[in-house]
Amino acid sequence: MLYAIPALLLGLLLGLFLGKKQTTTPQTKEEDADKGIDLSKARLQTSPEQVRDFYNEYNDKFIQVYGEVIQAFRTHNVDKLLDYQIESMEMEEGMKMLDAGCGICGPASYFAKNKQVTINAITISDVQVEQAKALIQREGVEHLVKVQKGDYHKLPELFPANHFDRIYFLESFGHSFDQKKVLQGAWEVLKPGGVLYIKDLFRKIAALPGHQKRIDETIDTINEAYRYNISDLYRILHEVRKLGFIIMALKTIDIKVEDFENLTISNDFQELTGIGQIEDWNTYIFPIEFYELKCYKPVHDLANGTDKYFLQNMMYMQMQGVKEENL
């Protein structure tokens, strides 16, 4: 009896994925739909041109406060953050990588220098492109890092399909006005077996119902100030799963308390520029949470069977009309 339930469950799964007849309760069209989830409609629409103008105007202020690594959730010694990201993304020598929203290529230059990976880096800002070129030359990684002006909403127009081993967004994903389109493009240019890595801030869900309206209003203020679109975690998870990604990890960034910078650098930037300043700390409710999301684009090699994500591969087999006995 101990083995009967797992065997039955596996049989049901095989039937569902490989086309065997099962009895199910009919669903309505409303139940089959995506229930209104739409990543192409931000609460506040921000265009790539607005993001470009924002960084062209404020890039020097960002560098003055943040240095070469424009990430708010960080360590006092920023190398520890970058080393953590190398490990989290499982970088290996010779990998082809895409830095989507690269800033002035501080992280890209560090990754290339320390792991000998090749990186295509894109930013929408003309100012950042020029400063990135200077930094890349100074670090001696011109043979490994190539920066260009580009809109990451148009990845399939910029790069070949199935090209990159890793695509990463380091607090840049939230500048997208159409996150669904960005994820779709990332899927297309990522190799099967490749990894999509997003480290960003996400909308906080209030513990007390009365706080949610204030959280949403604060997020709207942040979005407007920084030309951002703070993501809804559940909508992002929905979309990456719908595309076919396997969620490998979703977690908070594991930085030791003694190494953590504690976000005061964001306050320094606000005081320098006046952007997004908090007027009353006594009534302020922190509106965001930081997560890192790691997604795998599965390998479907039907000639040689399937990889370890067998349930997803059985669905793929059904979509391709391949029967189990043909493997």
Tell me: the pLDDT tens digits for 162-173? 999 999 999 999
Can you read off the two tokens belonging to residue 161? 């399909």
Burial pattern 106-130, b for ≥16 Cβ within 10 A else e, equals: bbbbbbbeebebbbbbbbbbebbbe
Beta strands 164-170 and 190-203: pairing type? parallel
Maximum CA pair distance of the chain?
A: 68
Q: What is the mean pLDDT of residues 26-31?
A: 42
Show Cβ contacts of residue 188 under 8 Å, excluding neighbours closer than 6 positions. 155, 156, 161, 162
Show Cβ contacts of residue 130 under 8 Å, excluding neighbours closer than 6 positions. none
pLDDT reported for residue 59 = 97
Q: What is the mean pLDDT of residues 56-64?
A: 96
In a domain, 315, yes or no: no
Instruction: Check pLDDT > 70 for residue 244.
Output: yes
C-alpha to C-alpha distance for 317 and 319, rounded to whole angstroms: 5
Taken as a whole, the chain contains a residue count of: 327
In a domain, 127, yes or no: yes
Average pLDDT of every residue of the chain: 85
pLDDT reported for residue 35 = 47
In a domain, 307, yes or no: no
Q: CA–CA distance from 75 to each of 64, 69, 205 (Å)?
A: 17, 11, 25
Neighbouring-strand partners of residue 96: 118
pLDDT reported for residue 263 = 84
For the chain, state the CA radius of gyration: 22
Evaluate whether 313 touches 306 at the Cβ level (below 8 Å): yes
- Total domains in the chain come to 1
Residue 176's pLDDT band (cuts 50, 70, 90): very high
In a domain, 177, yes or no: yes
The amino acid occupying position 2 is L
**Region of residue 94 (phi > 0: left; psi between -120 and 50: alpha; otherwise: beta):** left
CATH number at residue 286: 3.40.50.150
C-alpha to C-alpha distance for 324 and 318, rounded to whole angstroms: 9
In a domain, 184, yes or no: yes
| pTM, to two decimals | 0.83
In a domain, 26, yes or no: no
pLDDT reported for residue 57 = 97
In a domain, 316, yes or no: no
pLDDT reported for residue 281 = 67
Nearest CA among 236, 68, 232, 58 for reference residue 136:
68
Residue 160's pLDDT band (cuts 50, 70, 90): very high
Q: What is the mean pLDDT of residues 297-302?
A: 75
Q: CA–CA distance from 163 to each of 45, 145, 301, 326 (Å)?
A: 30, 16, 17, 29
- Least confident residue range of 52-66, 118-132, 192-206, 273-287: 273-287
Range of the domain at 178: 41-296
pLDDT reported for residue 11 = 44
Place of tokens 């703070």: 230
C-alpha to C-alpha distance for 221 and 44, rounded to whole angstroms: 10
Enclosing H/E stretch for 122: strand 118-123
In a domain, 106, yes or no: yes
Q: What is the mean pLDDT of residues 139-160?
A: 98
